[in-house]
Amino acid sequence: MSLLNAIILGIVEGITEFLPISSTAHLIIASKFLRISQTDFQKFFEVFIQSGAIFAVVFLYLQYVLKHKEVIKHILFSFFPTAVVGFLLHKMIKTIFFESYFLIIGAMIFFGAIFLVIEYLISSKKLVLRKTIQKTSWKEAILIGFSQAIAVIPGVSRSGIVMVTMMGMGYKRDESAVYSFLLAVPTIVAASALDVYKIKSVLYIVPQENLFYLITGFIVSFIIAYLSMRWFISFLQKKSLVIFGWYRIVGGILLLIIGK
């Protein structure tokens, strides 16, 4: 780990956490390209910088949540299925899923195609987006939670699967994105807490130099995530997810060609 690596990974986390392109996949691939070995500290670093992105959500949407408190109930309904799946499959996620380069690529390509299918249905008027998240029912919230659970597979994209599920239910793109941002808070906090517990020994041996890298990654992730969310909402109010679908497909194919 170096200062440059900490900044790069903070930027990658900040950009990709809330865009539908899978932050986990991008962090894994970025680490491979930067030739960063997956030590306990590196795993802890990747978990820790996610908290920067989460603080960006709180900073940006705290007033919104206080104004629309009913959304909190829906978020908790959506969080529960994901929490159960994540807890039960934690070991498999961290060993098998995270180590399968081709599984990540396959997930990126497959769900990129799903984005294109959803957008085709919208453009052909077979699917109409009218609903707002204030109208979410508890049944829909639970279904969204189960769909988010699929994102335990790196490459799927937690925000992406939440968005296409909600769009399939008729929710507006920007409303779906906001819901995915808010759902990220309990989801990532819980996942990070479990990860830290599993590698808690690293907390007692973090040297001062590595502490500086943690703080740097956190700050960079916070700033970039804040800017990324604001841009993404503005983008979705005018355009579709088609570009992200093609990004995933083309990116996955390129990674497949390059090889492990």
For residue 151, is pLDDT > 90? no
| Residue percentage of the chain with pLDDT more than 90 | 61
Quote the pLDDT of residue 207: 64
Encode pLDDT of 9-59 as tens digits: 999 999 999 999 988 888 888 888 888 877 777 778 888 899 999 999 999
pLDDT at res. 95: 65
Helix axes 158-168, 138-149, angle to 10 degrees: 140
Place of tokens 């949540």: 65
Residues 154-213: pLDDT tens digits?
A: 889 999 999 999 999 999 999 999 999 999 999 988 887 877 776 665 555 566 677 888
For residue 120, give its domain range. Answer: 3-258
Please give the pLDDT value at position 140: 96
Residue type, 248: R
Instruction: Encode pLDDT of 90-130 as tens digits.
Output: 667 666 666 677 888 899 999 999 999 999 999 999 999 99
Confidence of residue 7 (pLDDT cuts 50, 70, 90): very high
Write out pLDDT tens, residues 206-243. Answer: 666 778 889 999 999 999 999 999 999 999 999 999 99
Confidence of residue 138 (pLDDT cuts 50, 70, 90): very high
* Among candidate residues 19, 32, 22, the one with its CA nearest the CA of residue 259: 32
The confidence band for 75, taking pLDDT boundaries of 50, 70 and 90, is very high
Q: Select from 78, 249, 85, 250 the least CA-distant residue to 171.
A: 78
Do the Cβ atoms of 24 and 184 come closer than 8 Å? Answer: no
- The domain tally of the chain equals 1
3-state secondary structure of 151: helix
Residue 32 has a pLDDT of 83
